[in-house]
Amino acid sequence: MRKITRLLALSACLAIISCSKKGGGGNNPPDPPDPPPVTEVVYDETGCLYTSYNKLVMAGYQGWFAAQGDASERGWYHYQNGNCGGFMPGCSAVDFWPDMTEYTKSYKSPFKFPNGNDAYLYSPYDEETVDLHFKWMKDYGIDGVFMQRFVGEIKPTNAKGKRHFNKVLENALKAAKKYGRAICVMYDLSGCSPADVAYLEQDWNELQSLFNLFSNTANPTYLRHNKKPLVVIWGVGFNDNRQYTTADVDKVVDKIKGPTKKVSVMLGVPYFWRTLKNDTEASPALHTLIKKCDIVMPWAVGRYGNDNYNNVAGGELAGDIQWCTTNSITYVPLVFPGFSWGNLRMDAAQYNSIPRFKGDFLWKQVAGAKISGAQSLYVAMFDEIDEGTAIFKCAREADLPLHGSRKFIGIDNDLASDYYLWLTGQAGKWFHGDNGFSATKPVR
């Protein structure tokens, strides 16, 4: 059959960039890099590049940050911490600081480096910022991202929130097409009421119309699974006293699938979803809902650390995969590099509460999932610096701004700022079929 080809810009090779170069020490952003060479990506006969989640390694993309002075008019949104008065030395919501070396548009923050230079931050409201992030995905071999869409922030009563997430999604769809990266919408139900959950259907229909979401011409890299466009609903079955119920989510799944099952659905569920214990509601209704869907992804962040991973995951992974195989559901395990939310919680004990161990912890999870028979991965998260799970380029310990009575957490000085992008890309090679990997972490 006739194949459709499109021109995509990408880097021929990657120059490893560390925070010790200009910009990491507080200088103004550098000049834009030279434009990348042009290459060609071949799509299948339908014009769609990603027809299944199988063999893909994808990350979550928050995209919720804003900067004072950007066009979103949301101030230092998600950088700031309302519990201590905003965004300033001694008060922030983020533990990690982005490596700003390559950003072509940035905003002066209230923070300074030890040498007195101003520290800058980015906004994903800017198209060039999201373009850079997707370029990194291409450069390092990360297949793509799930665009987080927080239902509580995009409902009609939050006009600025909806405008923000629509603009970030618009930026991401354009960059995904340019760099040939998979992209998928992921709804997060955190903080929702039953009415908010019901509103998800309306927003989903609006997105399809607004962005021509399933057009293989407009969006040829939108992710499909089981031959249908995929949408993700995260946050069902948790026993943390949410206002909505599994029944509320069940109703919206029925509506967006419709009688013709026009889309595939991935559910984000608690880690102990199969046994209905610990973080999970003790109700078989969750299993009934999962069986209506196509993919299940358990939330593993905070459920284990490096020392007890084998004990916890060893008791869940094999059983989860077997349950999904029996019920013809695709199983996607989650992996994360570490966890830290000392500034968000204003609690020094929460800095590096789940240490990264220079990538050992992340690779232990990657290997555990692969050896257990998983076919794909969800990486939490691409840009989550609030809770310290970010894999994108973050400043090293030696290159951090001052934070008054508090501190920021940095990448180890003997690692490059891009180390976790590189390591995630190695995981991608393994899941793509390269058998040259094992439980031993690869050496860079």
Q: Is the pLDDT of residue 34 over 80?
A: no
State the pLDDT confidence band at 46, using cuts at 50, 70 and 90: low
**Cα pseudo-dihedral 249, 316, 376, 222, rounded to 10:** 10
Q: 349 Cβ partners below 8 Å, 6+ apart? A: 342
**pLDDT (mean) for 190-215:** 97
Lowest-confidence region among 12-26, 207-221, 356-370: 12-26
Query: pLDDT tens digits for 422-433?
Result: 999 999 999 999
Maximum Cα–Cα distance across the chain = 64
Q: Is the pLDDT of residue 7 over 70?
A: no
Lowest-confidence region among 14-18, 98-102, 208-212, 224-228: 14-18
**pLDDT (mean) for 295-304:** 98
Model's pTM, two decimal places?
A: 0.90
Mean pLDDT over the full length of the chain: 91
* Whether the Cβ atoms of residue 163 and residue 125 lie closer than 8 Å to each other: no
Q: Is the pLDDT of residue 178 over 80?
A: yes
- pLDDT at position 260 is 87
* Whether the Cβ atoms of residue 81 and residue 103 lie closer than 8 Å to each other: no
State the pLDDT confidence band at 1, using cuts at 50, 70 and 90: very low
**Domains detected in the chain:** 5-432 (3.20.20.80)
Closest residue by Cα to residue 57 from 362, 387, 267, 411: 362
CA angle 246/250/251 to nearest 5° reads: 125
**pLDDT (mean) for 76-99:** 98
Can you tell me which residue has the tokens 């079929």? 433
Q: Is the pLDDT of residue 42 over 70?
A: no
**pLDDT (mean) for 51-77:** 98
